[in-house]
Structure 1
Amino acid sequence: MTFNFLSPVSDKVLSSIELLSSQAFGNKLKIHTVQDGLPDLNDVQIAIIGVLENRNDVNYSGEDIQLDTIRNVLYSLFPGNWHTRVADLGDILKGDSVEDSYFALKTTVAVLLENQIIPIILGGSQDLTYPNYRAYDGILPMVNIVSVDSNFDLGDSTLPIKNNSYLGKIILEQPYNLFNYSTIGYQTYFNSQEEIDLMEKLHFEAYRLGEISKSINLVEPVMRDAHIVSIDLKAVKASEVSSKQKYSPNGLDGKEICAIARYAGISNKVSSFGVYEYQRSKDDQITSMLVAQMLWYFIEGVNCRVKEDPLKDEHNYQKFNVLIEDDELIFYKSIKTGRWWIEIPFLPEVNNKLKQHTLLPCMHEDYTEAMQGKIPERWYKAYRKNSF
């Protein structure tokens, strides 16, 4: 594996490891250093990458990104009883142009994906989700993205890409690999009615902040179907973060954002995870600790993954058929974990995006509602996207 765009972790961060317990995470990592170069990644399952690119932030003022404080805190935490090996590959520096930074990230992520290594991307502005998505070109035919954000970031796709408009580029630029896009924790007053209507028209999923705060377990089946998870730190409420990071008095609290990160880690499909819009400030301890804990919970989740496929191993699942008017809905429940899926049928007479029967993660509540004659909304949207 060659990674030509990565700069080593700073000596300042490395020197702090000497003061840590031998059991601290920093002493369990494989780290890209000036002295030793890139570590051997043959047994690595997760790789951390910093991306110091923020020039497409609509509020860019020339200030550079610095991730040392996050690394210092993350290294000081104690790992769980983990079997997963993690490497810190250092940072992708700003290129001569933003396009150079995009190319470096796309190329790096593609190499990691090809080697079944999950990249954790630390940004940088959230438009970096776009090159992360483009890294899947040629790797997956259809990609699902989950964004944890107060905004949809649709923007005007005819204008140059920005951190508040990257989704428009993802939807409209070839090759068309996007199957589903879900937003977790959006706040209505930050999004125009036109954008809300467009999300509905495209059969994308959007979960309001109030829904998530009331029932955090709504996130689990959404994450179980995601390939890319992109978290905007502006989704976190102001009381939980440092002064420069404050955005809105309403948002997800620390416990909720860490639970979401863990749900992302548990998902067998999630193959890249990004945290964006980090703003360093003098009183930075709270934000850097929160980001470090989010990464900790994601890694914890990866260590708790259980491989399941009801279509391949029917003996470990219960199957339920529910008839609603002219539709037969087929549900599966895992005997091992209690998780639920609903089948999306393959329709040979139409131009399917999906080329075979496939399963959509769902909740037990979807089954009980189907028993009462109500078609689950997630199934309906997935069915519609697959048919047109």
Structure 2
Amino acid sequence: MDLDFLSPVSEDLLDEITILDKQAIGANIRIHSSGSGVPDLEDVQVAIVGVKENRRSAQVDEFLHFDNIRSSFYSLFPGNWHIKIADLGDIEKGADVEDTYFALQSIVSQLVKKDIIPLILGGGQDLIYGQYRAYDTLDQMVNLVNIDSKFDLGDADNPISNRSYVGKIVVNKPYNLFNYSSVGYQTYFNSQNEIELMERLFFDAYRLGEVTSNIYDIEPIMRDANLVGLDLGALDGSSLGGGYHVSPNGFNGKEICALARYAGISDKVSSFGLYEYFSGYQPLGNMLVAQILWYFIEGVNYRTNENTISAKKEFIKYQVPVDDEVLVFFKSPVSGRWWIEIPFSGSVNTKLKRHTLLPCNEGDYLEACNQIIPERWYKAKRKNEI
């Protein structure tokens, strides 16, 4: 692998590791150091990558670093995990922001091709653009889930920023985006034009109150995602202990860790980015970010690999007539999770064939039995017909 874009973890952090408990994460993680270089990635399933880029963020942190997150994360104890983790260090700012995007795109692409999940720590959330472009060479349409208080659609005619990267993803070639889901948006932070545009594009949007009232409903959304981004501005300011994220409303620590675990346990999620980090966080904020990372990895550890052909052969099939349609549901006898089949027209691009089963929950099946068609099934079917 070509990992020349990466700089090693700081020597101060390596010194801290020497005094950690032998069972702590920091004492059992493979780390990119100046002395030994990039670690061996054989059998590694999750790789941490920092990206010191925030020039197109509203809050520019000239001295952005992730040492405090790493220090908090290294001090935690792993669960009963069987996976191996590496910390590959940081991508430094490029001469231009586009250079940083390219470096991130290259590293994420290489890792994903090796079945290693990049766990990205980033500054500006426009870095999701680089994370997304990593899938250009993977010959598949992708689903992006964004945990954020804003849609970040922006004006695609203007330069990319941390508030307009989704618009660039939609209009820039190659077109790899199948679906975009915004989780935790707050209406007063989004214009009605953007809300209406989300509906016209058949994208999914879930309000903060809707999510927090039953957070398990987001599990099928995460199960269908290929890449996930988290804007720390989606959290309430008190959970982070201040900093420049000052919104009184947002996800609390328990809720955001649950969402991170759902992302980790999804068999399809192949990269996870945590963005809009600010070096000025207090210890409370850094520990919460470290625990978000912990819960994502905890989820990865408990994946059931139900996307395989052999696993799907064991699914239990249910057929439900609704009006002129026959909705076909599948249930896993192992995890108890549900899927619904999406019909395809004959002219559909072959890239979409991986989306024949749409994750759902038992409530969708029960509603179908009561002659109510799930909204997500309708949207997916319409997109396949366009």
Which TM bucket (shorter chain)?
over 0.9
Structure 1 segment 210-289 matched on structure 2, within 5 A: 210-281=209-280, 284-289=282-287
- Listed one character per residue, the Cα deviations across residues 325-348 of structure 1 (whole Å, up to 9, x for unaligned) are 111100001111110000011221
Structure 1 segment 327-342 matched on structure 2, within 5 A: 327-342=325-340
State the Cα distance separating 1:386 from its structure 2 match: 1.1
Change beyond 3 A, Cα 1:194–1:39: same
2:312 and 2:166 map into 1 onto residues whose CA distance is 38
Match of 2:107 in 1: 108
Q: Which amino acid aligns with 1:74?
A: F
Change beyond 3 A, Cα 1:286–1:383: same
Match of 1:291 in 2: 289
Structure 1 segment 33-48 matched on structure 2, within 5 A: 33-48=33-48
State the Cα distance separating 1:353 from its structure 2 match: 6.4
Match of 1:375 in 2: 373
Change beyond 3 A, Cα 1:122–1:331: same
Change beyond 3 A, Cα 1:370–1:352: farther
Match of 2:359 in 1: 361
Structure 1 segment 135-154 matched on structure 2, within 5 A: 135-154=134-153
Q: Which amino acid aligns with 1:27?
A: A
State the Cα distance separating 1:297 from its structure 2 match: 0.4
- Quick one: percent identity of the two aligned structures? 57
1:158 and 1:327 map into 2 onto residues whose CA distance is 41
State the Cα distance separating 1:318 from its structure 2 match: 1.6
User: Any idea what SS the aligned residue of 2:303 has?
Assistant: coil
Change beyond 3 A, Cα 1:226–1:350: closer
> Are residue 163 (structure 1) and residue 170 (structure 2) matched?
no
Unaligned runs of 5+ in 1: none
Q: Which amino acid aligns with 1:76?
A: S
User: Any idea what SS the aligned residue of 2:243 has?
Assistant: helix
- Listed one character per residue, the Cα deviations across residues 352-376 of structure 1 (whole Å, up to 9, x for unaligned) are 8624771000010000111111110
Match of 2:25 in 1: 25
> Are residue 182 (structure 1) and residue 181 (structure 2) matched?
yes
Change beyond 3 A, Cα 1:317–1:135: same
Does the 8 Å contact 2:267/2:307 carry over to 1? no
Does the 8 Å contact 1:152/1:183 carry over to 2? yes
Does the 8 Å contact 1:240/1:253 carry over to 2? yes
Does the 8 Å contact 1:245/1:278 carry over to 2? no
Q: Which amino acid aligns with 2:362?
A: H
Match of 1:306 in 2: 304
1:324 and 1:172 map into 2 onto residues whose CA distance is 36
Structure 1 segment 79-118 matched on structure 2, within 5 A: 79-118=78-117
Does the 8 Å contact 1:228/1:273 carry over to 2? yes
Q: Which amino acid aligns with 2:339?
A: W
1:297 and 1:259 map into 2 onto residues whose CA distance is 7
2:47 and 2:237 map into 1 onto residues whose CA distance is 29
Change beyond 3 A, Cα 1:350–1:91: closer
State the Cα distance separating 1:140 from its structure 2 match: 3.5
Match of 1:8 in 2: 8
User: Any idea what SS the aligned residue of 2:104 has?
Assistant: helix
Match of 1:124 in 2: 123
Does the 8 Å contact 1:346/1:354 carry over to 2? no
Does the 8 Å contact 1:329/1:342 carry over to 2? yes
Does the 8 Å contact 1:310/1:316 carry over to 2? no
State the Cα distance separating 1:280 from its structure 2 match: 2.0
2:332 and 2:349 map into 1 onto residues whose CA distance is 31
Does the 8 Å contact 2:261/2:296 carry over to 1? yes
Match of 2:318 in 1: 320
1:71 and 1:4 map into 2 onto residues whose CA distance is 21
State the Cα distance separating 1:2 from its structure 2 match: 2.1
User: Any idea what SS the aligned residue of 2:317 has?
Assistant: strand
Q: Which amino acid aligns with 1:43?
A: D
1:140 and 1:212 map into 2 onto residues whose CA distance is 32
State the Cα distance separating 1:148 from its structure 2 match: 0.1
Unaligned runs of 5+ in 2: none
Does the 8 Å contact 1:245/1:280 carry over to 2? no
1:66 and 1:116 map into 2 onto residues whose CA distance is 27
TM-score normalised over the length of structure 1: 0.97
Does the 8 Å contact 1:50/1:90 carry over to 2? yes
1:245 and 1:58 map into 2 onto residues whose CA distance is 10
